[in-house]
Amino acid sequence: MIITQQKGIDEIYNMIKPYSKILIAGCDGCCQPPRSINEAKTLGQLLELKAKTEGKELTWKATTVLRQCDDRIAATSLRPLIQEYDAVVSLACGLGVVMLNKVFEDTLTFPAQESMCGGVQNIGENYFIEYCEECGDCILAQTGGVCPRAGCAKHLSNGPCGGMVDGMCEVGDYTHPCAWVDIWKRLKKFDRLDLFKKYRPPRDWRTSNSPAFITIYKDYTNVEEKEEEAKS
Amino acid sequence: MSNRPAYSNLMKKIKEGHFVFTGELEPKKILDMEEIIHSAKEMKKTKRIVSANVTDGPQGDAYMCSLVPSYLVQRDAEIEAVWQVTVRDRNRVALFGDVLGAAQLGIKNILTLTGDHTALGDHKKGRAVYDIDSTQFCQMLAIMIDEGTDLEGNELKGGKIEMNYGCVANPNSDPREPEILKVGRKVENGVDFIQTQTSFDIEQAKEFLKELEQFNVPVLLGVFPLKSYGIAWYFDNYIPGVSVPKDLLKALKKAEKDNKGDKKGKYAAIDKINIEFFEPFIKEIQKSTKAAGIHCMAVEYERLFEPLLSDFPQYVE
């Protein structure tokens, strides 16, 4: 899931200040906490109130989209509405905002959210932990299933660092566990400290650098195989 | 111990079998070098401190870079520097370039560190780099020194760089085992020496040194003389994992109280407390462990060097 955190109302209002009719689009996709129709409606009411305090009239409509990051779903959901509005405020993650700007080239879409991170587990009602930063170079096989890239503030491949105290990390004032101590505990439990001792050479950051352009599927042909067979 | 030649005075003295001392200099937000050079000259005068560590943005604060002062203390105070380099602020390209530059400036020792995170420092909004970690930096140095190439195998024009490098180890770490295993990875990547974080607990220090013996690498145990009660209190409360003995804290507090208004008397009382604590501490380490020496982090406390070290032989020319 992707965790978003709503921006302050002043910041959102300043984005839409030049416009008098806005469409507020929630997203029913993977955003957590929910950013759907109810949240869109609440934001509309807040923006209207804010506009009134400045002596302005604001017309708004709240709606929601199954997944804003899917260009076809976004297009079919919002096309009937969008022409009536001066601008759109999206409650989706950054990807949804980019997608609406791409699909509806003639309308500006503004973000209402900070996109915090993906790859998280929701622990309790209001506490999320990032477990995967989608680095494109997975080393979980060496670390007992605990990721030092998402979990270590210094992204160390050969931790722990000297900032670990009683198994806790210096970043966050010793309230978060040190990922490398967790890795050590896990590997020790399975008698696999050989993996812990292993030196890991410098990481190839190309797999996680932005912008990423990825081709997952490649064309497949059996011609080369047949040629190989013929040779042998 | 690595088979690398001793390029630095520090490594030469260790290999000659001397019980060595290193000092520490901390360039902060400064425009002139007067105090740093003065402190370095005082170290040199003792003929017992062979090299001076120059810190690289401790606690994640934005301070003067460590390379230029390392060069200047070598030039103006004629004491060898241990150039401290963290991987917090520079990627592999910058680190490589800085090491080549340092070689030009005659730097002979590097201490590799991860570095306190920017989140701890005075520019908390800054992006921490950590492209490579300190173990990988050790590998980079091993390649530059022993093979004369960069991390990608491109040759250095003119041969190999001539330097020795060390890593740090923390006797206060809890749990201890992952710390020891991590040091093992650094030893595997060719470190010439180890300097440790400070310890005030003699038994803990001895135990830690014993565990490090397996690596057969010279270890300099860190000690931190306490210049004032304020520093001791700060250390006790704010330096993670380190606790200053309560008796020491009490004695320092009393010394300051008893000598209010008498600067000379206060200094004498504080120095006496430090000498009475650290002199037997160091002697015990020398006598009952295989430590190669002491890393004395008496930053801006140069008046203590002479009385604290007077019982130890002079071995530096």
Whole-angstrom CA distances from B96 to B124, B193, B230 are 26, 20, 39
Interface residue B177 vs chain A (CB under 8 A): yes
Q: How many domains does chain B have?
A: 1
Reading phi first (left if > 0) and then psi (alpha if -120 to 50, else beta), residue B300 is in: left
- Confidence band (pLDDT; 50, 70, 90) for A42? very high
* Nearest chain B residue to A200, by CA: B136
Under the phi-then-psi rule, with left for phi > 0, alpha for psi from -120 to 50, and beta for the rest, what region is B98? alpha
pLDDT tens, position by position, B41-78: 999 999 999 999 999 999 999 999 999 999 999 999 99
A contacts of B179 (beta carbons < 8 Å): 160, 164
Of B136, B188, B241, the CB nearest to A165: B241
Please check whether residue B195 lies inside any domain of the structure.
Answer: yes
Q: Which residues of A touch B189 (CB under 8 A)?
A: 199
Mean pLDDT, to the nearest integer, of A13-22?
97
Rg of chain B over Cα atoms, rounded to whole angstroms, equals 19
Q: What is the DSSP string of A48-64?
A: HHHHHHTT---EEEEEE
Task: Give the best residue of B111, B136, B194 to mutate against chain A (max A CB count within 10 A).
Answer: B136
Instruction: Output the average pLDDT for chain A.
Output: 93
- Bridge partners of A129, per DSSP, are A121
**Max mean pLDDT range (A203-217, B134-148, B238-252):** B134-148
Cα distance between residue B191 and residue B193, in whole Å: 6
Cα gap A178→A172, rounded to integer Å: 11
CB contact under 8 A, B117 and A156: no
- DSSP-based three-state secondary structure for A17: coil
Distance of CA B91 to the CA centre of its chain: 22
pLDDT of residue A69: 94
Separation of alpha carbons A161 and B170, rounded Å: 9
Over the stretch A145-194, which tens digit does the pLDDT of each residue have? 999 999 999 999 999 999 999 999 999 999 999 999 999 999 999 999 99
Helix (H) or strand (E) holding A23: strand A21-27
> Which of B117, B136, B170 comes nearest A171 by C-beta?
B117
CATH code (residue B257): 3.20.20.220
Q: Mind telling me how many Å the CA of A131 is from chain B's nearest CA? A: 19
The whole-angstrom separation of Cα B1 and Cα B164 is 12
* Residue A44 reports pLDDT greater than 90: yes
Integer Cα distance of B99 and B70 in angstroms: 12
* Structural domain containing residue B195: 9-309
DSSP state of A13: H
Residue in chain A closest to B58 (alpha carbons) equals A163
Q: Do A162 and B168 touch (CB under 8 A)?
A: yes
Chain mean pLDDT for chain B: 96
- Is residue B185 within 8 angstroms of chain A, CB to CB? yes
B317 within a domain of the structure (yes/no):
no
pLDDT band at A104 (very low <50, low <70, confident <90, very high): very high
- B311 pLDDT above the threshold of 90: yes
Give the DSSP letter of residue B87: S
Looking at CA atoms only, how far is residue A153 from chain B in angstroms? 8
- % chain A with pLDDT above 90: 76
In a domain, B314, yes or no: no
Query: DSSP strand E in B258-300: where?
Result: 293-296
Report CB contact under 8 Å: B114, A154.
yes
Q: Tell me what the mean pLDDT of segment B96-123 comes to.
A: 97
- Write the CB contacts of A163 (distance below 8 Å, at least 6 apart in sequence): A154, A169, A170, A171, B114, B116, B117, B120, B240
Interchain CB distance below 8 Å, B185 and A197: yes
Question: Which residues in A lie closer than 8 A to residue B119 (C-beta atoms)?
Answer: 153, 170-172
Q: Is the pLDDT of residue A124 over 80?
A: no
Q: Is residue B315 part of a domain?
A: no
User: Which of B113, B174, B182 is opposite residue A159, by nearest beta carbon?
Assistant: B182
pLDDT band at A232 (very low <50, low <70, confident <90, very high): confident
pLDDT band at B1 (very low <50, low <70, confident <90, very high): low
Among the partner-chain residues A158, A163, A203, the one whose CB lies closest to the CB of B116 is A163
**Residues of chain B with C-beta less than 8 angstroms from the C-beta of A181:** 175, 178
Residue B177 lies in a domain: yes
A212: pLDDT confidence band, cut at 50, 70 and 90? confident
Whether the CA torsion B239, B243, B245, B250 is positive or negative: it is positive
What digits encode the pLDDT tens for the residues B182-211? 999 999 999 999 999 999 999 999 999 999
ipTM of the complex: 0.92
Residue B4 falls within a domain, yes or no? no
B112 touches chain A (CB under 8 A): no
Cβ contacts of B150 on chain A, cutoff 8 Å: none
Instruction: State how far residue B239 is from chain A, nearest Cα, in angstroms.
Output: 10
A-B Cβ pairs (cutoff 8 Å, strict): 100
Helix (H) or strand (E) holding B231: helix B229-238
Residue B298 lies in a domain: yes
Percent over 70 (pLDDT), chain B: 100
Q: Which residues of chain B lie closer than 8 angstroms to A201, CB-CB?
A: 136, 139
B133 touches chain A (CB under 8 A): yes
Contacts of A180 in chain B (CB under 8 A): 178, 182
Interchain proximity B175–A202, CB inside 8 Å = no
Assess A161–B contact: CB distance below 8 Å, yes or no: yes
Calpha distance B11→B314 (Å, rounded): 16
C-alpha B12/C-alpha B105 separation (Å) is: 20
The answer for B 68-107 residues in CB contact with A (under 8 A) is 88, 92
B129-185: pLDDT as tens digits: 999 999 999 999 999 999 999 999 999 999 999 999 999 999 999 999 999 999 999
Cβ contact B181–A202 (<8 Å): no
Residue A209 contacts B where some CB pair is shorter than 8 Å: no
| Amino acid, single-letter form, for residue A89 | V
A181 shares contact with chain B (CB less than 8 Å): yes
Q: Is residue B79 included in any domain, yes or no?
A: yes
B132 touching A, CB under 8 A? yes
Please report the domains of chain A, with CATH numbers, ordered by start residue: 2-117 (3.40.50)
Order across the sheet with A87-90: list the strands: A59-65, A21-27, A87-90, A108-111
Shortest CA distance from A187: residue in chain B: B178
